[in-house]
Chain A
Amino acid sequence: MRAAAREPSLRRLSPHAREPGCGSSWLRARGAAVMAALGFATGSGNWFSALALGVTLLKCLLIPTYHSTDFEVHRNWLAITHSLPISQWYYEATSEWTLDYPPFFAWFEYALSHVAKYFDQEMLNVHNLNYSSSRTLLFQRFSVIFTDVLFVYAVHECCKCVDGKKAGKELTEKPKFILSVLLLWNFGLLIVDHIHFQYNGFLFGLMLLSIARLFQKRHVEGALLFAVLLHFKHIYLYVAPAYGIYLLRSYCFTANKPDGSIRWNSFSFVRLTSLGLIVFLVSALSLGPFLALEIIMWCYPSPTVNPALMYVDPYKEFLNIYISKTLNNQHGLELKLLDPNKIPKASMTSGLVQQFQHTVLPSVTPLATLICTLMAILPSVFCLWFKPQGPRGFLRCLILCALSSFLFGWHVHEKAILLAVLPMSLLSVGKAGDASIFLILTTTGHYSLFPLLFTAPELPIKILLMLLFTIYSISSLKTLFRKEKPLFNWMETFYLLGLGPLEVFCEFVFPFTSWKLKYPFIPLLLTSVYCAVGITYAWFKLYVSVLTDPPVGKTKKQ
């Protein structure tokens, strides 16, 4: 009645407020239709496709939300790879967001850019800094949603690796179902990829797929996938030790002594060669063209090439630029933790390297962090070598590698916690002890991602999604392991419940206090310290369980 009198024009207030104009709205409809078609193609009666389709719809709803500077980073990379010759890709520096991922990712952006040109040609212009039309937004968001198909497939494969022995009568109590919800609806991945904006979904898809292949004894395929993954994003180098040792120990050595120790004469040289060949070929495919270009440029300096480049050793320069960019672009939770007086709010989301001196504690050098990380990784790797426990042992070692480098690494971003959280989901549905570690790690790890989204409209989204995921994971794992001892002791329960008051203080109480202007970093500091405790605890607990677990051979005999 009266409502009709008011023009229902909430234009500026509607969720799409940031999009100028609605000319591209047909694209949104088409995108959703494609999702529907995909869902129905895989059979709508199937619970797995229902889950995948549901989360895809949720991702579509997140399209108009806040996106970080990573959005501009990836747009710039699209422009670089589309409009410049290959030789210039890693030299182009019009924007501060230079291309600093390995070549496969550059090729990936190159492929995307050929779709992007049908959406909006302007986004492919290198000089069009901070360009963000509604079509650009739609294209970028949908490219993330669409490439997640690989992640969905990987989760599907992972579910096959879970033994269904404990399967309850109810569908919702089956480990497979729980695992697929934990992976597909993972809160961290949702906010990092679909709000904050990155392409982690399909990269983690590659990782999970390679893990699944190792579980299925298809070692060569697993190694190939991981080698490819490394050339997509070098952060996965953190878990490479686990892969290397596992493949060497369990694939290159074909047999064990009865007590589980190594039988040296069972070494298969053919297998080692095949693995080496795979790694070499993938690297050659990825780095080869760039090296070749550099060598050509070095041998035949032509006047068409930028003269500034001719006087430096191109190969050295290339490696310098490449390595310095790739290794330094991420910040550390730990560094922030140690450096309370110099935490700029922007640094939480920017990908730029900011060198800062610690004022309270002595500065940590990269070398020291490297040594610390190696020391932390070493015991788990030894364990994998001397006490092989099959793929599950490998998975534990992988998680320990990821966690150790997260805790001790140099310039680690908080997003890196996903590297441990996602593989840990695979372990969590297998054993009650692992489930408890998973819950502590996931809850604190996800909470540590909260500062990524600091804008007001995303506040309810992040809190409600986090609650949804946490409550589901705790309740489902509790039902799964209801016959065993409780998942948490009083201390852990107390710690996890403490996250609630912490969030209330940081987001709701602190902004109204007088400290807000004087000490604006306090919420971040508290979040970092509190989460660091939980993550360290989970790391420690997992380490203890890895070191004290008897080898597989013995348990079987018992």
Chain B
Amino acid sequence: MFGDYEAQRHWQEITFNLPVEQWYFNSSDNNLQYWGLDYPPLTAYHSLLCAYVAKFINPDWIALHSSRGYESQAHKLFMRTTVLIADLLIYIPAVVLYCCCLKEISTKKKIANALCILLYPGLILIDYGHFQYNSVSLGFALWGVLGVSCDWDLLGSLAFCLAINYKQMELYHSLPFFCFLLGKCFKKGLKGKGFVLLIKLACTVVACFILCWLPFFTEREQLLQVLRRLFPVDRGLFEWIYRKMDKVANIWCSFSIFLKIKDILPRHIQIVISFCFTFLSLLPACIKLTLQPSPKGFRFTLVSCALSFFLFSFQVHEKSILLVSLPVCLVLSEIPFMSTWFLLVSTFSMLPLLLKDELLMPSVVTTMAFFIACAVSFSIFEKTSEEELQLKSFSISVRKYLPCFTFLPRIIQYLFLISVISMVLLTLITVTLEPPQKLPDLFSVLVCFVSCLNFLFFLVYFNIIIMWDSKNGRNQKKIN
């Protein structure tokens, strides 16, 4: 019946009216079946803060029990304003500062870059249309990236801890952060400065977590209950993805068209398989990052790790693609063509969700605005040479074995065309035609399948960039 909007309102009601100890526990006042709190403590604190403001404006909005399902124009305005304020305080300054810190581009390009990142339709549509506070966790993560890339390691790790404590999904980004910081410590020498840095980082992280979780340290049961709420392993997640008929553009959902993995294998084996796939797919990039830490490699590893998680792990939701899109936004100025393409596909992959929310018009309009902004400010269609796709070193090494390997940019251009045409066609079909009676989910499955194919291609592409990156660097050093 209700969606995330009611969930967020309900959390305000719970956190305001109940003592901290009861937030995550099922009780007569807190029915966990009804949108129970299942995000980390920072979300709860944020809800509490909003609840105080809501109390000031209209106490009915957060009255215990009686406010369930409350909806009014004024309340909607209030809730949307809280999103805007969070966005203005956390996400937008991070984006602006990040673009200011970019090197080797003119001021005009920096402004254009910031504009394009802020115009990314996926985040706007989910936060302001569907209603969520993704900009908070993503904003904290961005502050983390910013800090770590500018060598303010402690601040960066602090910001990233806040991100994880706001939304556990940020764990998708944790491995690259860990590897990058570890790599930095290794680089400085584990016996000298590196060790000191490692200790400092560890202290920061532990202190941050302790501070965030302080009210829950009273009992062991408290901690365990919160953790159980955050990571509900006992729920058959793969199963309920099917039950809810939510189609996600990841491997398991897409290939269930051909092979019903769910019916063939027991659940624990499914989990093991998915774990193996995820681990294997992100291992090379992470090892590479640990051995040769560089801000650029860090950004690309963020992309590929998040993408691996999205494609291969359980418990995935369409909206998780935002976690991949954020790092892709960060490499927008380096590989404008591919990033724009990816961001378009990521918005498209959420089409069934957006249609459910009746957000077709806003999504079409914002997508077009984003596409035009990118096309105008980066002139993406002229940047499809091997050099600008960052595939130079890769194709050079392929050419050693296959001298006629010069058609890569052209292939990518054709793929782009095919992908865009298929996306437009599928959108039109989904919107205009009624699906056949026997297959009511035909179109959403097709959307997922097409997006999944695209994402697989991007996973390969980003991994190639990461693996061939240093050779390029070494070559340059040699030339120098």
Contact = CB atoms under 8 A, between A and B. Distances in A.
Interface of A: 1-16, 19, 22, 25-26, 28-29, 32, 35-36, 39, 44-45, 50, 53-54, 57, 60-61, 63-64, 455-457, 459-460
Nearest to B134: A3
Given A3-B317, A50-B376, A457-B77, A11 B357 contact: yes
Nearest to A25: B360
B362 interface: yes
Given A1-B315, A32-B365, A8 B3 contact: yes
Contact of A4 (B80, B241, B432): B241
Contact of A44 (B320, B364, B376): B376
20 contacts: A2-B38, A3-B4, A3-B132, A3-B317, A3-B319, A4-B241, A4-B246, A5-B244, A6-B3, A6-B7, A11-B358, A13-B3, A13-B131, A16-B359, A25-B360, A28-B360, A28-B364, A61-B362, A455-B73, A456-B73
B365 A57 contact: yes
A61 B317 contact: no
A7 B360 contact: no
A32 B7 contact: no
A312 B463 CA distance: 87
B217 interface: no
Contacts of B432: 26
Given A50-B372, A460-B81, A8 B35 contact: no
Contact of B129 (A15, A50, A456): A15
A444 B318 CA distance: 46
Contacts of A459: 77
B428 interface: yes
B369 interface: yes
B240 A5 contact: yes
Contacts of A2: 38-39, 232
Interface residues of B, number: 57
A205 B368 CA distance: 26
Interface in B48-103: 71, 73-74, 76-77, 80-81, 84
A144 to B, nearest CB: 15
Contacts of B168: 1
A22 B360 contact: yes
A32 B364 contact: yes
A7 to B, nearest CB: 6
Given A14-B357, A457-B73, A44 B246 contact: no
B119 to A, nearest CB: 11
Contacts of B129: 10, 14-15
Given A1-B317, A15-B359, A61-B361, A29 B5 contact: no
A339 to B, nearest CB: 30
A51 to B, nearest CB: 11
A347 B162 CA distance: 51
B431 A29 contact: yes
A35 B361 CA distance: 13
A460 B84 CA distance: 10
Given A22-B360, A25-B361, A13 B5 contact: yes
Nearest to B84: A460
A64 B1 CA distance: 23
Contacts of B317: 1, 3-4
B383 interface: no
Given A4-B246, A50-B376, A460-B81, A10 B369 contact: no
A25 B372 contact: no
Contact of B356 (A9, A12, A29, A39): A9
Interface string B260-289: 000000000000000000000000000000
B358 A45 contact: no
Nearest to A31: B361
B244 A39 contact: no
Contacts of B39: 2
Given A25-B431, A44-B375, A460-B77, A32 B368 contact: yes
A49 B168 CA distance: 44
B309 to A, nearest CB: 12
B358 to A, nearest CB: 4
